[in-house]
Every structure is written in structure tokens, then in C-alpha cells.
Amino acid sequence: MPESPITNHVSKRVGRNVFDTPPKITVVIPAYNNADVIAETLDSVIGQKFREHEIIVVNDGSPDTEAFERAIRNHLEEIIYIRQRNQGAGPARNTAIEHARGDIIAFLDGDDVWLPDFLASQYVHMNRNGLDMVYCDAMLIGMNSALRRTFMETAPSVGEADFNAILDLRCNVITSGVMAKKEFIVKAGMFETERVRAHDFHLWLRMAKAGAKIGYQQKPLLKYRVETSGLSGDSISRVERERDAFVRVMNTIELDAEQRAIATRRIAGLEADLAVEQGKSYLLSGDYREAAIAFRVANRHRRSLKLTAITWLARLAPSLLLKHFKTHRPADIALIRQS
């Protein structure tokens, strides 16, 4: 079937093998610069044991569109393919949700991979436990390490996944592991349309605020690709993004006194983390005075004997502190040098 224009900026193509009748689940895949891995991602969805689903791929104005469309050529008849001008992952997901026919939405990023029983297991768990949203654990791939870890080993989920637990990071949601009822996504206002980070975190909070019952499975049902270069390797930018997300939550979501205290505490902790990362960067560049100031700021936000000692060394014996970091924290320093 040829592409049909929806607006001046959006076109849609429905593959010949896509079911005419509405499916139970719509799989939403936003794609940007994923030409080298998108075929594997689509294979993992088409190979699902649970068959009552449709797949919507949204090409978000990707600069690799020519290569991307070559990569999905063998899958075109199995999917709904939408192209739009670049707006970001949140708006791309919103576009797919607007065209979704399923009552349940399952999210998958264009570079991640589901295990064959992802949809079946999440669907059964959601219905068995009366949930409006469910997420799961993931195996981390793409790391230059022989140590095999899962997402929940690095970002645990403990206890009930209510608003406070998600806000306080006691429960951490991985987007490619989420299945949720469309009605609650729409009720919560869908993804933010501005170009902001952590728009998924913001949506889960709004869904919880709107009354969605959220749960999780502590078993890995997907492979989550972790990039060790670029933005994910920039420790200062990472902390800045996390801090800015909490500031945005405080400014845009109505919080009670307990929730405001949680957000304030998290922001203070991230300010400390940011100052520490900046201190390391200054230390490595030889700007010892600024390094000492940064470590002092960190210690003001999060007082500890360790930070007090680091602050003292940065002021009185910076070369000794630098030698310690180079000898004992090479991984930290590698990340800082990418900042």
C-alpha cells in the first residue's frame, strides 16, 4: 500500500499483512538514527508468541532515513509506518498513540529488543493483577564489560510502584519494558511535546497521579541497549538532565507536602552529584581552585566525612588528590574526559 499524506509533515503507510480488525495491543516504536539495529528490533516484535498486536513505527525525521527504509524493507508489510518531521521521542510516541487501535500500548525504543514472551508475560501479569500499567526488568547489552547485569540491579524497584515510590526512585521504570492502558495514557495527557529529557518519567508520574495502578515484574523480558559514548557517557550532562527533570516535576505537577519534600531532597542530592562531577573535571584540567570550590559546594549539599576530606585535599594537596583519582578511579575519569 502506498504512503498516504495525513498532513504536510506526516505520511502513513499500512502494510498489507496488518490486521483489519483492531488488535488488543499496539506496539509503539519511535525511531531516530536506528538504521543499524531496527531490523533486529522489529524481528523481536514480529517473533512474539502473543500475536494479537499491531506495530507502529514512527520515523521522527531521522537523518538516516534512506538507510533506515532499506533496513525495514522486508518488514514493511507487517507494520504501520509513519514519517514525520523531527520533533523528539515524546511527540513521536504521541503520534503513534493517536493512530493506535489497541486498548493497550506497549513501548519499545528503536534500538532495544524484546524476548519472545514479552507481550504474553506482560499481558497476563497486567490482567491477573488488575494493573493499568506494568513494566519489567531488562538485560543490559552494549557495555564494554564482561559483567552481566540487569536494569533492576542498577536501578531497583522495591515495594508498591505508586507516585511517591516513582518520584523517590524507589521504583524505576524502563520505557521499553512498559505496557499500559491507552485510556490512562490519554487521561494523563500523553507525553510532553516540548524537547525535554525524562518525558517518560514525567508521564509515569502523571499517570500515577491520575489513579493508574502500576506494577512490575522482576524478571528480564527485554534487552536494553546501553551506549557507552555520547550523551550517556557525559556524567555532568546526565546529572544536569536528572536535576532538571525534578525541577520540572515541581513546577508542573501538583505535589503535596511529602511529595514536595521528596523532590526537594532529590534535587539537593543531584546538586551535590553535579558539584562532585564538576570538581572532578576541574581537578583533571588542573584548575585546583575551582575544583576545591566545587567540592565545597557538594559538601554543603550532602555533608559527609568523605566529601570533607576531598574538599580539604583539593584545597591543600590537590596533586595528591589528582593522583588518587588517576590511580583508583580510572572509569570515573574516562567519563569526565568526555564531558
Residue 303 sits in which domain range?
233-336
Last residue of a domain, one of 178, 199, 226: 226
Q: Which range is least confidently modeled, 31-35, 103-107, 241-245, 285-289? A: 285-289
One domain for residues 38 and 147: yes
User: Is 336's pLDDT higher than 60?
Assistant: no
Give the pLDDT score at 143: 61
Give the model confidence (pLDDT) of 299-310 as tens digits: 887 777 888 888
d(CA 173, CA 151): 9
Give the model confidence (pLDDT) of 23-73 as tens digits: 999 999 999 999 999 999 999 999 999 999 999 999 999 999 999 999 999
One domain for residues 173 and 251: no
Q: Average per-residue pLDDT in the chain?
A: 89
Mean pLDDT throughout 279-286? Answer: 84
One domain for residues 40 and 130: yes
Share of the chain above pLDDT 70, in %: 90
Give the model confidence (pLDDT) of 84-123 as tens digits: 999 999 999 999 999 999 999 999 999 999 999 999 999 9
Give the pLDDT score at 314: 82
One domain for residues 172 and 315: no
One domain for residues 29 and 131: yes
One domain for residues 11 and 92: yes
Give the pLDDT score at 139: 95
One domain for residues 268 and 203: no
One domain for residues 122 and 171: yes
Last residue of a domain, one of 226, 251, 283: 226
- Who has greater pLDDT, 236 or 49? 49
- State the pLDDT confidence band at 329, using cuts at 50, 70 and 90: low
Last residue of a domain, one of 185, 207, 226: 226
- State the pLDDT confidence band at 290, using cuts at 50, 70 and 90: confident
- Per residue, the 3-state secondary structure of the chain, as one string, reads CCCEECCCCEEEEECCCCCCCCCCEEEEEEECCCCCCHHHHHHHHHCCCCCCEEEEEEEECCCCHHHHHHHCHHHHHHCEEEEECCCCHHHHHHHHHHHCCCCEEEECCCCCEECCCHHHHHHHHHHHCCCCEEEEEEEEECCCCCCCCEHHHHCCCCCCCCHHHHHCCCCCCCHHHCEEEHHHHHHCCCCCCCCCCCHHHHHHHHHHHCCCCEEEEEEEEEEEECCCCHHHHCHHHHHHHHHHHHHHHHHHCCCCHHHHHHHHHHHHHHHHHHHHHHHHHHHHHCCHHHHHHHHHHHHHHCCCHHHHHHHHHHHHCHHHHHHHHHHHCHHHHHHHCCC
One domain for residues 250 and 282: yes
CATH for 152:
3.90.550.10
Share of the chain above pLDDT 90, in %: 65
One domain for residues 170 and 295: no
Report the number of distinct structural domains present in the chain. 2
Give the pLDDT score at 272: 86
One domain for residues 75 and 209: yes
One domain for residues 58 and 128: yes
Give the pLDDT score at 305: 84
